[in-house]
Amino acid sequence: MTKKSLSETKNAWLLVIVAALGYFVDIYDLVVFSIVRVQSFRDIGIPEEEMRIDGEYVLNMQMGGLLLGGILWGILGDRFGRIKVLFGSILMYSLANIANGFVQDIHSYAIVRLVAGIGLAGELGAGITLVSESMQKDKRGYGTMIVASIGVLGAVAAYYVSELFDWRNAYFAGGAMGLLLLILRVGTFESAMFKGVEDKQVEKGKFSMLFTDKERFKRYLYCLLIGLPIWFVVGILVTQAPEFGKALGAPVTLSAGKGILFTYLGLSLGDVLAGLFAQLTKSRRLAVFLFQVLIIATSSWYLSSEGLTEQRFHWIAFFMGISIGYWATFVTIASEQFGTNLRATVTTTAPNFVRGALIPSTLLFEFFVRHSDIVTAAYVMIFLLTGVAIFALSQLKESFDRDLDFVER
């Protein structure tokens, strides 16, 4: 190996570490609301009977912010560079989380989560794009696997911080970590592939290009659909653990915070397992299919657990976390499907549109709840979402080991 290639490899792995730490803070700030929802709502005077619906309202505002931010940061990433997005997004969500520690009513809470969501939208997509473009094509799966597996442990940190301090300080801690991360980001370098198209006469970051070509639109849509079940598991099945526990006859009130903790521990392990499986089989599609089947199995286990004990819930949450651990593989697939001039747009919008898809998923879930019950509604949604995801997966071409140095015309 030449001195130049050694230096490039070292720089690529430095990017992986920085992206992983950035995603760690991103996930912390993303899930902290789900963890402190009940405590914070009590403190600002939300009645117990309104907590579930108001929780969906605030969470949907955050998810709406992710949708808007996904488009904003994706376009900026393709037009002005991946590094600028990493700096801008982390500054925005760090300041928003600090502001979150001062809210006194449900509407200001929701507005601040909207702003935080916009900021949070840029971190993962820009990081995965940088890593994918900077590593060797047969090794990039390892890089994105490390980013995600370390990053999702931010949820574990969020749980323990919220246990040690009150909910306001949990938000302050998230904002402070983000601002500290900005210092670490100094010295990171821009993607060589992006620099290669910077001066070329091609459209860069033109969001409408995803919709003006039928084949390209279908490719993009299928990338989005394969991630649909992930955030339903986190945003509904785990976040509403107290309500599901009541419906299943749990002897104690189940803690959503502990559910998030064990789910994300499982998710971290799942990201490693999915990434290794894809590398060994040289097939990301096969890995995602296997994990879709696991989602059905573990969710059914959860929803059929009459008299669900706290300990059993923790184990189920852990295994549900493993089953949605194809998150990094899903984002990598999206990154590999598109050319350099649209890659940041796709890689940033895809995970955020999937997160934002929790809004229609929640509305559909509530429709089924009104016409049946919470457990039956969850069964219907899990089978519906995984069915759609498996179909979409079957329509995508295998992208493992693909050369990413190309553009969309």
In tens, the pLDDT along 329-368 reads 999 999 999 999 999 999 999 998 888 888 899 999 999 9
Query: Could you read off the pLDDT of 158-211 as tens digits, one per residue?
Result: 989 998 999 999 999 999 999 988 887 666 667 777 777 766 778 888 999 999
Map residue 138 onto helix, strand or coil. coil
Q: Is the pLDDT of residue 382 over 70?
A: yes
Residue 143 CB burial class (10 angstroms; 0-12, 13-18, ≥19): buried
> What mean pLDDT, rounded, does the chain reach?
90
C-alpha triplet 15, 398, 329: angle, nearest 5° = 40
**Which pLDDT score, from 0 to 100, does residue 407 have?**
87
Query: Could you read off the pLDDT of 203-239 as tens digits, one per residue?
Result: 888 999 999 999 999 999 999 999 999 989 998 999 8
Binned at pLDDT 50, 70 and 90, residue 251 comes out as: very high
Query: Could you read off the pLDDT of 22-52 as tens digits, one per residue?
Result: 889 988 998 899 889 889 999 999 998 898 8
Residues 268, 250: Cα–Cα separation, whole Å: 27
**Which pLDDT score, from 0 to 100, does residue 8 have?**
63
The contacts of residue 363 (CB under 8 Å, 6+ apart) are none
Residues 405, 391: Cα–Cα separation, whole Å: 28
Residues 95, 93: Cα–Cα separation, whole Å: 5
**Which pLDDT score, from 0 to 100, does residue 320 have?**
98
Query: Could you read off the pLDDT of 46-99 as tens digits, one per residue?
Result: 998 898 889 989 988 998 898 899 999 999 999 988 888 888 898 999 999 999
Q: Residue 282: which region, alpha, beta or left (left: phi > 0; alpha: psi -120 to 50)?
A: left
Residues of the chain with pLDDT > 90: what percent? Answer: 62
Q: Name the more confident of 379 and 60.
A: 379
Residues 165, 159: Cα–Cα separation, whole Å: 10
Mean pLDDT along residues 107-131: 91
Mean pLDDT along residues 292-310: 97
Tracing tokens 């991946």 back to the chain, one arrives at: 82
State the CB neighbour count (10 A cutoff) for residue 280: 10
Residues 349, 367: Cα–Cα separation, whole Å: 27
**Which pLDDT score, from 0 to 100, does residue 7 have?**
58
Q: What structural domains and CATH numbers belong to the chain? A: 7-186+206-395 (1.20.1250.20)
Tracing tokens 């990413």 back to the chain, one arrives at: 404
**Which pLDDT score, from 0 to 100, does residue 134 have?**
83
**Which pLDDT score, from 0 to 100, does residue 155 have?**
85
